[in-house]
């Protein structure tokens, strides 16, 4: 084909790619009731309340207890200062990060496995368990994985051009990803192995000067690591307190946390079979890697192995960690279907009898996997879309209604049902806003400390929290200082006595 015509055709495809990615975000905003839904992801209440308190001048770690990095919370708080506190603003930020995740994922897969595999991967990604729900939620998982994938995309730019600005950008993005949530570290081993495979093992596209000396590689490692440290350190200096890292460590790895999470919080391995099309197509991609030594599939394979090892060992496991499996499975699945189909094209001649048997078995396996995907994918996508569109509106939630009716004159409220308090625009005392199970397990809050903060802030309203009442022995305190004004399950609302 004429080179000029080829370039015009490629530019047209690039525009189509961009339009399709923008359409993904627009469709997500159209399908999901971002303005009105009470709650999508289960941790939205924590994230919205933290951002509300920070936007009102209560800093993280100094007043608001928090065992996660601050970058996402500070971004949402900035939106609240600019546009007012609303779940809509936080969810639009989440959709923006989801578009970054889809766009960079497509970009990496397109470069390494072709445009057809890129779009197949995006389709498999969208139907992955909980992906759409997390994409519209004010939660940490999608932003962290999106910035991690953006770091991979920038790293690919360095592999293609060897321009150091791409390497710096990759490190900065990875440092920011870690400051959203430390789970973004799952990309680290795959990036390191991809670098070694490219520089030393002659896998993948070769640089202009193949197999450079160790001095060059040491410079690359130092530049990338320094960029990660620069981004990470800037956030540490801006927002951390002297004891923040000890809070992180104690919450996630203390003896109490490990003991409490030892049973009942492990990864449910059969849950992978909830998406059989995704798993089978990814298995086809692994077989393709082993059969043809496809260099571009080394990265998703190492990423998948890292995720499997981490979640086989680490406790606790929460449902939204399913997102960690989605990019490597979708990438391997797309490559398995697209490249596997190309590898099994019918030969004209020259095959032995055993070769024909192998070809027939390969074609049979490929059609079996394709049939599973075509059967499973629409059903999964419908399930994910239905989960978004059928979310209960905040205006219909009994707790939100009860709180809004009694919001006048209320400065503070205490409740575990933070999403209801946020929709009623009632802040929770900063030190009591985030009380996840890990804070209790690690001994970072107890009954006397809890009652101390209640006495200090004297919240006018207290929305029934049976777990907190039981764990911290608040029965006598409630009876002495509060009276029950609403007792209509599931709402149990107390007002402080004069």
Give residue for tokens 């399908």: 31
Amino acid 350: pLDDT:
63
Count how many residues are written for the chain: 498
Amino acid 204: pLDDT:
47
- Asked if residues 275 and 376 have their Cβ atoms less than 8 Å apart, the reply is yes
219 Cβ partners below 8 Å, 6+ apart? Answer: none
Amino acid 267: pLDDT:
78
DSSP string, 427-447: PPPGGGS---HHHHHTTS--H
Amino acid 2: pLDDT:
66
Whole-angstrom distance, CA of residue 300 vs CA of residue 187: 10
Q: Is 264 left (phi over 0), alpha (psi -120 to 50) or beta?
A: left
Handedness of CA 264, 266, 268, 269 (dihedral sign): negative
Amino acid 340: pLDDT:
76
Amino acid 64: pLDDT:
94
pLDDT in tens, the chain (498 residues): 566 777 777 777 778 878 888 889 999 999 999 999 999 988 999 999 999 999 999 999 999 999 999 999 999 999 999 999 999 999 999 999 999 999 999 999 998 888 888 999 999 999 888 899 999 999 999 999 999 999 999 999 999 888 999 999 999 999 999 999 999 999 999 999 999 888 876 554 444 445 667 788 889 999 999 999 999 999 999 999 888 888 888 888 888 888 888 777 777 777 777 788 888 888 888 887 777 777 778 899 999 999 999 998 888 888 899 999 999 999 999 988 887 777 666 555 566 767 667 777 777 888 888 888 888 888 888 888 988 888 899 999 999 999 999 988 899 999 989 999 999 999 999 999 998 888 888 888 888 888 899 889 999 999 877 767 777 778 888 888 888 888 887 888 889 988
Backbone φ and ψ for 497, nearest 5 degrees, come out as -70, 150
Of 362, 361, 364, the residue nearest 343 (C-alpha): 362
Of 84, 50, 94, the residue nearest 68 (C-alpha): 50
- Order of strands across the sheet that contains 482-488: 413-414, 461-463, 491-496, 482-488
Whole-angstrom distance, CA of residue 145 vs CA of residue 127: 17
pTM: 0.91
């Amino acid at each position: 084909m004429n080179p000029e015509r080829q370039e015009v055709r490629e530019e047209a495809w690039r525009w189509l790619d961009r339009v399709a990615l923008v359409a993904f975000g627009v469709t997500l905003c159209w399908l999901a009731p971002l303005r009105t839904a009470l709650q999508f992801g289960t941790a939205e209440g924590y994230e919205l309340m933290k951002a509300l308190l920070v936007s009102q001048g209560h800093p993280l770690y100094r007043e608001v207890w928090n065992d996660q990095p601050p970058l996402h919370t500070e971004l949402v708080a900035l939106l609240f200062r600019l546009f007012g506190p609303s779940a809509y603003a936080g969810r639009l930020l989440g959709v923006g990060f989801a578009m970054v995740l889809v766009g960079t994922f497509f970009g990496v897969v397109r470069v390494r496995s072709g445009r057809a595999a890129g779009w197949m991967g995006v389709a498999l990604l969208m139907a992955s368990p909980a992906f759409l729900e997390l994409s519209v939620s004010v939660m940490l998982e999608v932003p962290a994985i999106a910035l991690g994938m953006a770091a991979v995309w920038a790293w690919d730019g360095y592999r293609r051009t060897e321009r150091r600005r791409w390497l710096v950008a990759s490190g900065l993005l990875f440092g920011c990803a870690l400051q959203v949530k430390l789970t973004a570290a799952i990309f680290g081993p795959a990036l390191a192995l991809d670098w070694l495979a490219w520089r030393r093992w002659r896998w993948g596209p070769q640089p202009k000067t193949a197999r450079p000396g160790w001095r060059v590689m040491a410079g690359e490692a130092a530049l990338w690591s320094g960029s990660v440290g620069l981004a990470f350190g800037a956030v540490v200096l801006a927002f951390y307190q002297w004891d923040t890292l000890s809070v992180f460590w104690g919450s996630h790895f203390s003896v109490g946390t490990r003991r409490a999470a030892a049973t009942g919080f492990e990864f449910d391995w059969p849950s992978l079979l909830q998406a059989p099309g995704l798993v089978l197509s990814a298995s086809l991609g692994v077989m393709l890697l082993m059969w043809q030594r496809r260099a571009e599939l080394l990265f998703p394979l190492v990423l998948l192995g890292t995720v499997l090892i981490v979640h086989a060992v680490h406790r606790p496991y929460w449902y939204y960690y399913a997102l960690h499996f989605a990019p490597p499975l979708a990438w391997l699945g797309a490559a398995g279907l697209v490249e596997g189909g190309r590898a099994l094209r019918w030969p004209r001649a020259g095959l032995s009898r055993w070769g024909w048997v192998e070809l027939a078995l390969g074609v049979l396996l490929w059609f079996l996997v394709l049939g599973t995907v075509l059967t499973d994918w629409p059903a999964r996508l419908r399930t994910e879309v239905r989960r978004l569109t059928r979310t209960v509106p905040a205006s219909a939630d009994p707790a939100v209604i009860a709180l809004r009716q009694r919001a006048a004159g209320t400065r503070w409220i205490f409740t575990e049902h933070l999403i209801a308090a946020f929709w009623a625009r009632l802040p929770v005392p900063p030190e009591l806003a985030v009380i996840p199970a890990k804070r209790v397990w690690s001994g970072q809050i107890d009954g006397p400390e809890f009652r101390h903060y209640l006495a200090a802030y004297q919240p006018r309203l207290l929305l029934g929290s049976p777990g907190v009442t039981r764990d911290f022995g608040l029965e006598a305190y409630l009876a002495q200082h509060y009276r029950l004004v609403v007792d209509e399950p599931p709402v149990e609302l107390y007002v402080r006595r004069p």
